[in-house]
């Protein structure tokens, strides 16, 4: 398991700004039939090519994965707004 980067998220929701940190790792899985232990949460697998067309957030993470630049950054900032 390799640590990739941290993302600072600034999200505006109904007029309130929240701040969170997301830590991202690169891992090798031994299977694809994993199930979430959280209620109402599903795990979904997509190819790198399909990610560009998805509204995967934060967008800055999606874009670095699609562009294969995720190993060259250590700190990202996301200011995605969701109304």
Separation of alpha carbons 79 and 56, rounded Å = 14
* pTM to 2 decimal places: 0.74
Q: What are the tens digits of pLDDT across the range 21-38?
A: 999 998 888 988 888 999
How confident is the model at residue 81, as a pLDDT? 55
Q: How far is CA 66 from CA 4, 13, 31, 34, 47, in A?
A: 15, 27, 22, 23, 9
Alpha helices in 17-82 (DSSP H): 48-51, 59-66
Domain boundaries, the chain: 2-27+43-78
């Amino acid at each position: 398991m390799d640590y990739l980067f941290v993302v600072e998220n600034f999200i505006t929701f109904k007029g309130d700004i929240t701040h969170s940190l997301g830590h991202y790792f690169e891992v090798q899985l031994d299977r694809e039939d994993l199930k979430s232990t959280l209620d109402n949460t599903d795990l979904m697998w997509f190819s790198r090519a399909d990610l560009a067309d998805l509204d995967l957030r934060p967008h800055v993470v999606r874009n670095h994965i699609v562009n294969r630049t995720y190993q060259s950054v250590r700190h990202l900032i996301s200011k995605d707004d969701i109304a």
